[in-house]
Amino acid sequence: MKLSKFGEKFTRQAGILSLMDDLGHALASGSEDLIMMGGGNPGHIPEVQNIIRQRLQDLLADPDKLHHLVGVYGPPQGDWDFIAALAQLLQRQCGWDIGPENIGLTNGSQAAFFLLFNMFAGPCTDGSQRQIQLPLASEYIGYTDAGLSDNFFTAARPDIEFIDAHTFKYRVNFDAVHITEQTGALCVSRPTNPTGNVLTDDEVNQLAALARQHDIPLILDNAYGMPFPGMVFTEATPLYDENTIVCMSLSKLGLPAARTGIVIARPEIIKALAGINAIVNLTTGSFGSALALELVRSGEILRLSREVIAPFYRRRAERATAWAHEYLEGCDYYVHKAEGAMFLWLWFKDLPITNLELYERLKQRGVIVVSGHYFFPGIEEEWAHRHECIRVTYAQDEDEVNRGMQIIGTEVKKAYGI
């Protein structure tokens, strides 16, 4: 088959594809023996699932609502009732100066990143080639292949702060964040996938100031953040200003299959995004917004995030961290401080095998993790650290996470020759 540049670029082996393939095959094979610590599926939280079931029944019981749910195309900006309710909620809760004109919906926030990245980076009409700058590597695997052109990202290595003998935290190294004429936007996830890092308010404010100074947007990926789904175990103030683009999602709340991404930005950006969305998708699916509308209107989504979702993941994080320390004892390992999201980022210093080899060995043992080398978009130079980390998801069944961590411990010790 003779493909265009686009066709060739988007059919290359992409990290995100291998991850979603692992996830899909594991689920499709129905193998009870596989321990899934790889993907980003949210945990099963009965209280959340009951609310979703109830909302679905309410929609089915009302013919007008059912028609609205499946029988009409909504506007390209997304369902208007949901957008209006969300604008009010965010004004009230976060004090953000926004209205419905500041919000656009996409088919998952993954689609929002694809559209936004390519709006702000790539070949420009003035002949320049702009890039998205990631101020703190490691970063989300899903960004890696989202550029329509090559050399799409630049990234800065972080400072590594050692918190205790086996715990570390990445910090933005502002000396390494070089913004040039070629920088189209800054982008950072907070909490960060894959590390569970939560950038401090200071770090985010400094990044926002830098972006403002260079007249480029700061894209804040808030898929796990505040005020919902609120998977944050430290203090973190949600930031929005005229120069910031905040991306949110209903996925980690428990609705990944409803594919609902939320973009908050100044009106000209939302208008542009809705225009591109119309060309690519006509409109955004309204399933997620219909399911979540009443939760947003009533503010119940905030209570759920605060009282149900955050404690669920905090407990999972604490237990997974304790198991990591138990099973890795005797190795030269470090756990990134788990401050949010649903991942442990494990660093095996001077590991004699690569993280990809470790991933393969764990897969043979029925444990699916993600090799850390995928999470460094924009880092071109060789850096051993890149081949020494793995990402482990702790959102699923606790007994399985325990068993999985035990097997990881055994395989890592074997690799170190312990």
Positions that interact with ligand PLP (CB under 6 A)? 40, 108-110, 140, 142, 189, 193, 221, 223, 249, 251, 256, 261
Q: C-alpha angle with apex 69: 68 to 74, nearest 5 degrees?
A: 65
Cα–Cα distance for residue pair 178/182, rounded to 1 Å: 10
Minimum Å distance from CB 89 to ligand PLP? 18
Minimum Å distance from CB 375 to ligand PLP? 10
Minimum Å distance from CB 128 to ligand PLP? 27
Whole-number Cα distances in Å, 375 to 78, 172, 394: 31, 16, 18
Minimum Å distance from CB 115 to ligand PLP? 12
Contact of 8 with 148, CB cutoff 8 Å: no
Minimum Å distance from CB 158 to ligand PLP? 16
Minimum Å distance from CB 379 to ligand PLP? 17
Q: Which residues make beta-bridge pairs with 218?
A: 186, 244
C-beta closer to ligand PLP: residue 229 or 409: 229
Closest CA to 174 of 203, 196, 133: 203
C-beta closer to ligand PLP: residue 20 or 308: 20
Minimum Å distance from CB 222 to ligand PLP? 9
Minimum Å distance from CB 221 to ligand PLP? 5
C-beta closer to ligand PLP: residue 190 or 386: 190
Closest residue (Cβ) to ligand PLP?
108
C-beta closer to ligand PLP: residue 208 or 341: 341
Contacts of 374 (CB under 8 A, 6+ apart): 15, 16, 18, 19, 141, 144
Backbone angles phi, psi at 339, to 5 degrees: -110, -5
By CB atoms closer than 10 A (0-12, 13-18, 19+), residue 294 is middle
Place of tokens 């291998």: 18
C-beta closer to ligand PLP: residue 131 or 251: 251
Whole-number Cα distances in Å, 65 to 57, 81, 101, 135: 11, 12, 24, 44
C-beta closer to ligand PLP: residue 260 or 353: 260
* DSSP letter (8 states) at residue 157: P
C-beta closer to ligand PLP: residue 312 or 327: 312
Cα–Cα distance for residue pair 322/320, rounded to 1 Å: 5
C-beta closer to ligand PLP: residue 256 or 366: 256
